[in-house]
Amino acid sequence: MVPQGGASMSRVTHVIFDLGNVVLLSTHGITHEILMERGVRRDAASRFFTGVHHDAFVRGGSPNDFVNGVCAAMECPLVPNTLIRAAHDAHIYGIDAMVISILRQMVVARIPLGFATTTNVWQTEHERMLGFSAWDYGRVARSHELGELKSSRPQTWARILDTVGFANVDPRNVLLIDDSAQSRAMAQAAGLSTYRFEPGFDGAAKLREDLYTRGAFLPKK
């Protein structure tokens, strides 16, 4: 199998994982269905995770501002705040056990790990409720704490690498595992290698094979 490389195919020494759609199982469709069951139109429900209200929230905006913004965008001012929170949290519904097994194998192989995720304060709390702690495996760069997105510009990746403890690592030896084309493009522009994760039944199996090909499961000397 030929690895899905980015800027370089240098041997991987450090790995950064996305969280949503990689480690965490998620789909916006669940949120949309909950809202439509409460009378929100389908086209309006689709605005929940888009627009300036969501962009501000994942950059550190307040939950109250998000609730006000999303209700205005969906044209449904009577939706209770508690429903907005419940509908939001429902889109992350589990943890990929096979990806967790890969993380554990990489820890055993002494591969330094980090995480970079587009998220918000609600999502971070919900991760913990699901029983997942990224800190068990490595440091985490979260968009709402950085104030910017990993998909925004290549320069953001210098801050991400510093946040996860990889500031002094050659970016060519850092692999980003992400399902977002835009995030991978920005990482590649910053010099990182990337892997396109494919959410689904065999996504973790394909990732495991790619990591072995890159030598990412070989013990560091």
DSSP secondary-structure letter at 166?
-
Cα–Cα distance, 96 to 62 (Å, whole number): 29
User: 24-26 and 92-95 as β-strands: parallel, antiparallel, unpaired?
Assistant: antiparallel
Rounded to a whole number of angstroms, the distance between the first and last alpha carbons of the chain is: 25
What pTM value is reported for the model? 0.90
User: Per-residue pLDDT tens for 104-150?
Assistant: 999 999 999 999 999 999 999 999 999 999 999 999 999 999 999 99
Any bridge partners for residue 95, and if so which?
24
For residue 5, is pLDDT > 50?
no
Between residues 79 and 174, the one the model is more confident about:
174
Cα–Cα distance, 185 to 83 (Å, whole number): 35
